[in-house]
Structure 1
C-alpha cells in the first residue's frame, strides 16, 4: 500500500461548468481513493461525497456556481473549501418543509461536519467544512459543532 503523506492538498478550478456537482464528487472520490479512505473508511467517504454535493449545489443554486473546490487533508481532518462569487454567507432555512425537496443542505452539513462556516474573499466567499480523518483515533475525535 502506498504511504500517505501527513498533509495533502488538491484543488479543482471550475469555470462555466454545467455539471459542477458531478465533477466535484468525481474529483473528491478520486482524492479519497488515493488517500485510502474508500478502502478503510467507506462510510466516512460517502459522508464526504454527500457534503461536497451539498456545498457545491448551494453554490450553484445561490451564488452563480462554484469557482473552486479545495480538499486539504491531514491525519487529523479533511477540510473542504468551496469558493464562489456571492459575498452573502450561507444560513440554514429557519424551518424547511420536511415534505418538500430542498432547504435541507446546510442541516446535513451541520449534522455531518465537525465544524463549518464561511469567510469573505475579495470577490465572494469561501464556504468551508471539516470532518475528522478516519486515521484520527476515536478517542481524539471532537464533538460535532457548528461555528
Structure 2
C-alpha cells in the first residue's frame, strides 16, 4: 500500500490559518480522488477545521498540518508548541460556546490521540484517522 503525504508548514501563527488548512485539505482530497461533496470529504474538512481551531485557541497556533493518505484511510496530524494535552470538558465547565471539537473526534474518527513532538522540540502532535470514502 503506497502512502501519499501532503505537508503544510504554518509556523505557529493564527491569522487565516483555519481557512488555509480547510482549502489545503480539500485540494489534497480532490487530488486523491475523494468525491467532492461526499460525507467523507465533509467530515475530513470539519475535523481539520476543529483541530486547527483548537491549536489556535489553546496552543498559540499550529506549526504544521500533515495529511497521510493510503487507500481506505486518511491520517491527519497537527503539531503545535504546547505540551498541554487536549481534554473534553463537561458542558458545565465550558466558558464559551463551542467546545465540541474533541467530541466530534470521538464520534467521527476511527481513532485519535497525541504524541510528543520529538526530542529537543517542545509540543505535541495531535493525530486522527478517518476511513476513506465508501
Q: Same fold (TM over 0.5)?
A: yes
CA contact under 8 A between 1:91 and 1:106: conserved in structure 2? yes
CA distance in 2, matches of 1:96, 1:80: 30
Contact residue 96 and residue 103 of structure 1 kept, 8 A: no
TM-score of the two chains, using structure 1 as the length reference? 0.81
| CA shift for structure 1 position 76 | 2.9
Question: Whose relative contact order is higher, 1 or 2, with alpha carbons under 8 Å and at least 6 apart?
Answer: 2
How far apart are residue 123 of structure 1 and its match? 1.4
Identify if the C-alpha distance between structure 1 residues 96 and 130 changes in structure 2 by more than 3 Å, giving closer, same or farther. farther
Question: Residue 123 of structure 1 corresponds to which residue in structure 2?
Answer: 122
User: Is there any run of 5+ residues in structure 2 with no aligned partner, and where?
Assistant: none
Shift of 1:96: 5.4
* 2:83/2:123 contact within 8 Å kept: yes
Alignment RMSD, CA only? Answer: 1.9
Aligned residues: 129
CA contact (8 A) 1:64 1:85 kept: yes
CA–CA distance in 1 between the matches of 2:9 and 2:66? 9
5+ residue gaps, structure 1, are 136-147
Query: Does structure 2 conserve the Cα–Cα contact (< 8 Å) formed by 1:70 and 1:80?
Result: yes
| Contact in 2 for aligned 1:118/1:126 (Cα 8 Å) | yes
Instruction: Name the SS of the counterpart of 1:118 in structure 2.
Output: strand
Q: 1:37 aligns to what? A: 34
Which segments of structure 1 move beyond 6 Å, counting only runs of 4 or more? none
